[in-house]
Chains A and B, each alone.
Chain A
Amino acid sequence: MMARAAKFLLGPAMRPFTIMACAIVVLGIMDRGHGYFFSIGTVFSVMQLFATVGLVALGLGLSMLVREFDLSVAGIVGLAGCIAVMTGVENPWLGVVFGVGAGVISGVLQGLIMTRLGLSSVGVTLGGLLTLQGITYVLTENKTISYPNMAVALGLNEPVANLLSVRSTAALAIFMLAALVMTYTHIGRDVIATGSDRRASRIAGLNTDRVIIGVFAASGASAALAGVLLSYSLGAASPVALADVLAPAAAAAIVGGVSVVGGRGSPMGIAAGVLTLCILRSGLSAIGVAPHVHDLVTGGILIFIAILDAPDLARRVTTWRLDRAERQTTARRS
């Protein structure tokens, strides 16, 4: 019974939520009833963080679902933010359209290069990342660009129902949309099929190239929206400040149960993965521990998940146990 419960909770579908629940319980205990952790302020800051990292992790996670790895999301966040800030002064929606449009175009272009030429995604999107960064530098002339429309910046961070802001509501809505598409439409099944076994899917009549281009377009759009929302709410965009979003996004997607070998994972899992990392960051600082504890704890959890997920772990442990048992028997005999 216990074993079955553990298997269910640590199984691929439930694990992201189990880890998140564990993080909440542990932080709650560490708070010792002071109410610093279980407070509206903490929830709000967790969701603010979620709005930034979440959409990038969603984009990266989608590309991992089809067994690719979209490094360029880090470049798109910066570029889309700058485009939005430059074009959306009069009408913020125009900035959103241009920013997200740039993300879609970059995703489609990279998808076309990969599928038409049969190239691996790491190489192409690394080149894409460097090129996108270059474009951002040229557009901004290597300076920080401020966004004069302060009403938008304030409006985006305006609390909704005390716990969310307009920005984090938007991010949550995108996650809901992705989850609905992945669960209830044939697109979701096509994506999973392409990620599980691309050749078999192609033989079964699925146009896998189109699926991959579509996934990269969605990944670009999602990362672009993260950049646009962040730059709007900060009231500024700069080419360098956003460069290091890739590592947390990849960590969040993998904690969220997306497998690098493709075909496994879901938007809700990714959301739980992102929330876990955000809860750790905001929660630990809310209960007043030093900032380095957060890095150490995150690193520890990632190592734990990496070992738990390692395909050869069981084999190594079994061999080691058998060896030891054998050695003991021979020792007893002699």
Chain B
Amino acid sequence: MTTRHIVLTIRIITIAAIAIFALTTPGFTSQLSINALLNAISFIGCVAVGMTFITLTGNIMSLCLGATLSASALIFLASLSAGILPAFVLTLLFGIVVTAVQGVLIGYFRANPILVSIAGLSLLIGGADLATGGVRIYPGGEGLQVFKGRVAGIPIEALYFFATVVIGQFILSWTRIGRAMTMVGSNARAATAAGISTAAAVTFAYVIAGACAAVSGILLAARYGSGDMELGAGYDYTAIAAVLVGGTAIQGGSGSVVRTLIGVTVIAIIEVVLLLRGFSQQLQYLITGLIVLSVIMLHTIGERR
């Protein structure tokens, strides 16, 4: 047995163990807990899908997606007075512009992605405070119902998330620029030599990340009916954890949106199971942290060269 076989076996055993652990937990299969699970994965999932593109192109992570999410939620709530569709489009554009600017700096000038994202975070927090004066924003119009409630028993948030996953995976595997992103992440110089515009691929990856964060912001704004800059605080770390647990390589070049879907789901299942089994909040944090750490170790052992 090679290392690859061992790692594959361990992975299958891990997933099977989580599945058995979940299914034997009383109440896990109830409609209520499934809906809680779907809701939990939807908000963080959209951000994690966006983060996947950033990690995949070799830019490690962004510390700015959580703030982009919050700011998008504010824009969405404030522009609702113009109608639900214009507000949706405007918010999406806003998210895209915020990260596209960062993508241009990182793609075309090869600026340091972590520093650029911290700068973006600072500017967004300052800009939001300037615009709102630091008060909570409430919806300026009607129509939030489009983004919450249920269709055929499934929370609408989850449908938007699954649509995001499908579109994301489609771009990644079936479009030229999507495949270019993976190549840029695995070897930027080889990609350039092959005639791929690495700068355009990186910029586009950031564009997608911004759009995903904006969608998550809209869903959260609709869910809570109000918003401030705290809405997305901490989402960056949870999102990158989901990306890594899913098995996308931190150095880029290997990974997919579906893997991130698996990562988000695994983390959410663990949290729901711990909750249902009556673990205290603090033990839930600790156990989730330990599991994330060991899963990341497992993946990187399998993929190291």
Contact = CB atoms under 8 A, between A and B. Distances in A.
Contact of A250 (B118, B244, B251): B118
Interface string A173-203: 0000000000000000000000000000000
A325 interface: no
Given A123-B300, A307-B111, A311-B110, A130 B237 contact: yes
Interface residues of B, number: 51
A302 B250 contact: no
Given A119-B297, A299-B122, A310-B105, A134 B289 contact: yes
Contacts of A137: 281-282, 285-286
A303 B129 contact: no
A247 B289 contact: no
A298 B122 CA distance: 7
B292 A295 contact: no
Given A243-B234, A298-B122, A138 B283 contact: yes
B293 A118 contact: no
B126 interface: yes
Contacts of B285: 130, 133-134, 137-138
B125 interface: yes
Nearest to B64: A247
B233 interface: yes
B293 A130 contact: yes
Interface string B13-44: 00000000000000000000000000000000
A135 B286 contact: yes
A310 B109 contact: yes
Interface string A275-314: 0000000000000001111111111101101110111110
Contacts of B127: 292, 295-296
A296 B122 contact: yes
A299 to B, nearest CB: 3
Contact of A310 (B110, B119, B293): B110
Contacts of B89: none
Given A118-B304, A299-B126, A134 B288 contact: yes
B77 to A, nearest CB: 19
Contacts of A130: 237, 241, 285, 288-289, 292-293
A299 B282 contact: no
A48 to B, nearest CB: 21
Nearest to A240: B234
B185 interface: no
Given A123-B244, A123-B250, A311-B110, A254 B293 contact: no
Among B116, B119, B292, the most chain A Cβ lie within 10 Å of the Cβ of B119
Please tell me the size bucket of the interface on A.
35 or more
A118 to B, nearest CB: 5
Contact of B286 (A118, A134, A291, A298): A134
A131 B105 contact: no
B108 A316 contact: yes
Interface string A236-268: 000100011011001100100000100000000
Contacts of B112: 254, 260, 306, 309-310
Nearest to A298: B122
A158 interface: no
Contacts of A128: 293
A141 interface: yes
A274 B61 CA distance: 23
A56 interface: no
Nearest to A293: B126
Contacts of B108: 312, 316
A292 B286 contact: no
Interface string B85-112: 0000000000000000000010011111
15 contacts: A69-B114, A127-B289, A127-B293, A127-B296, A130-B237, A130-B288, A134-B288, A243-B234, A251-B122, A292-B127, A296-B130, A299-B120, A302-B119, A307-B109, A311-B109
Given A117-B300, A303-B123, 15 more contacts: A122-B250, A127-B289, A129-B289, A138-B286, A142-B282, A244-B233, A246-B63, A250-B63, A254-B112, A295-B122, A299-B122, A302-B118, A309-B112, A312-B108, A313-B109
- List 10 A-B pairs, minimum CB-CB distance, nearest first: A127-B293, A295-B126, A134-B286, A299-B122, A130-B289, A299-B123, A302-B119, A137-B282, A310-B109, A292-B129
